[in-house]
Structure 1
Amino acid sequence: MYFISAFLFGTFPEPKDYPVCSECRLAGNPCILIERSEPCLGPVTTAGCKARCITFDVPCIGCRGPVPHDTAWFDSLAMTFKNKGISEGQVRERFRIFGAHNPNLEPMLDKIYGGKK
């Protein structure tokens, strides 16, 4: 709807450069990564979906692609997953859904989890 209204008013939609977490918190959703230790990709996914998945109690799968920032965000999230006890397999699977094209994905996960499975 945002894109349609932008074009109707003769403007162009602005690209988002912040994560889904921002929209999630604005919607009043609890953080399911922190509170329930579920693998949510909201912290590294580009906003614009109005946190639909999380609003319906489903962890974000990263469908809008990664935020346009350095891979440090991915490192940080993968480390959080590890600290929360989320398995390496779950983390790799989750990141590969929409991030398989990222050349830094495997080296970053290998660094955090200590090598290949």
Structure 2
Amino acid sequence: MALGGRTINVAVASGLGNARKILENIENGTSRYDVIEIMACPGGCINGGGQPYSRERLETMRARTRALYGIDDKATVRKPHENPSVRKLYEEFLGEPGGHKAHELLHTNYWY
């Protein structure tokens, strides 16, 4: 992904099994990412354990997913970097995306 003239390597893991694969690839040096989004539940919070239980669980999850993606498709602001509040936060406090202050405050490092 290109952002502010820089290439940002992004990974998204849906489900902890996929998160494990990404982390293994980082550990063994086959992958490098600047940003990783890990959703513990397959499909993310849409299908998470905190959602209401239904006997027709699969169809309910699919309907919930379609509805939420439909809402997102109609949203005025769909991407965080286009969100006026996020942009203001960077302009007034964090500085440039990926810059020192933003990195120091927003990034977490896990050492094994």
* TM-score, scaled to structure 1: 0.20
Greater share of strand: 2
TM-score (norm 2): 0.20
Greater relative contact order: 1 or 2 (C-alpha under 8 angstroms, separation 6 or more)?
1
Larger radius of gyration: 2
